[in-house]
Amino acid sequence: MTVISLEVRPLTRAAFEPFGDVIETASADMRLINGGTTQRFHDLANIDLTGENARVLMNIFRGQAFTPPVDINMLERHPLGSQAFMPLQDRPFLAVVAEDAGDRPGQPLAFLCKGSQGVNYGRNVWHHPLISLEQTSDFLVVDRGGEGNNLEEHFFGDLIYRIEKLVI
C-alpha cells in the first residue's frame, strides 16, 4: 500500500475556481430587499443540472466528524448536476477535489473551509464525500434529482492519500 500525504490549503475563490464555486458573503453582490430590512447576497453559486426530468433538490446532510489523519481512498463525481454544501453551524469542513485525468481523478487537493463558507462542486468534478470536522454537523445541500445515473465513484485501490494535519 502506498500512502501520499496531502497538504491542506485555505479555501479561496481563486484556488477553488477550477472545481466550482465558493459560497460566502465576503465580496458577494449584496442587495437590500424587503424595505431595507434584509440583506440578500445574490447569485452565490451556479446550480448546473442536465438530463431527463432534472430538478433541484434541497436536502440537509448530517455528517459525522472526522479527525486527522483522514484517509482519502476514493472520490466521486456527479455527471448530471452540481452539488452545493453550506454548513448550518459555524464549523469547519474539508473539501477534497481533483481534476479529471482521463475519466478518473488526478492528484487530489484538500481545502479547509471555514464554517462561514460553502462549496458548490461543478458538474462532473471529482470530490470526496462530506468531511465534517470538530463534531457532527448539518449542511444544507443543493443537488440534482431526476432520472439517470448521477453518481460515479473511483476507488484508488492500494493508493491512499492521507491528510495528516489541518494546520495551514
State the pLDDT at residue 168. 57
pLDDT digits (tens, 9 = 90+) for 15-39: 999 999 999 999 899 999 999 999 9
State the pLDDT at residue 60. 98
Q: Do residues 116 and 21 touch, judged by C-beta distance below 8 A?
A: no
Is the whole-model pTM more than 0.85?
yes
Q: Which amino acid is at 105?
A: P
C-alpha cell belonging to residue 56: 433541484
pLDDT digits (tens, 9 = 90+) for 111-137: 999 999 999 999 999 999 999 999 999
- Is the domain covering 2-163 a CATH 2.60.120.480 domain? yes
Q: Taking the domains of the chain in order of start, what are their residue ranges?
A: 2-163
Residue 105 gets which letter from DSSP?
Answer: B
State the pLDDT at residue 84. 98
Residue 69 gets which letter from DSSP?
Answer: S
Calculate ∠ Cα 22-28-29, nearest 5°: 140
Percent share of the chain, pLDDT over 70: 99
